[in-house]
């Protein structure tokens, strides 16, 4: 049986940085999802929530390095909110 790896967990900062605060002020009602996710991500993606999907990752070490599950969920929520397929919201280093 393959050894189970412990994945890196994502612990986002609670307080927005200056640039985020300016962007949050400019979000209109059609972008409420983005404001909600930024303001509550530290509550939504706690350690218990992130632990659950770890079993889906294979323990062989093959493939790309795993991405913390919370980041994958957040990206999925953003895609749904934008109604897009994705690379426009994905950081360049993860495309």
Mean pLDDT score, 3-13: 72
The pTM assigned to this predicted structure is 0.57
pLDDT tens-place string over residues 21-56: 888 888 776 678 888 888 888 888 888 888 887 777
* Cα dist from 91 to 16, 39, 66, 70, 94, whole Å: 18, 20, 15, 15, 6
Report the C-alpha gap between 42 and 21 in whole angstroms: 16
Domain spans of the chain, in order of start:
18-58+65-84
């Amino acid at each position: 049986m393959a050894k189970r790896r412990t994945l890196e967990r994502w612990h986002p900062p609670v307080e927005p940085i200056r640039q985020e605060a300016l962007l949050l002020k400019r979000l209109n009602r059609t972008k409420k999802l983005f404001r909600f996710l930024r303001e509550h991500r530290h509550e939504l993606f706690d350690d218990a929530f992130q632990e659950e999907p770890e079993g889906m990752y294979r323990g062989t070490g093959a493939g790309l390095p795993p991405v913390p599950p919370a980041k994958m969920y957040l990206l999925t929520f953003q895609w749904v909110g934008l109604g897009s397929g994705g690379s426009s919201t994905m950081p360049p280093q993860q495309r």
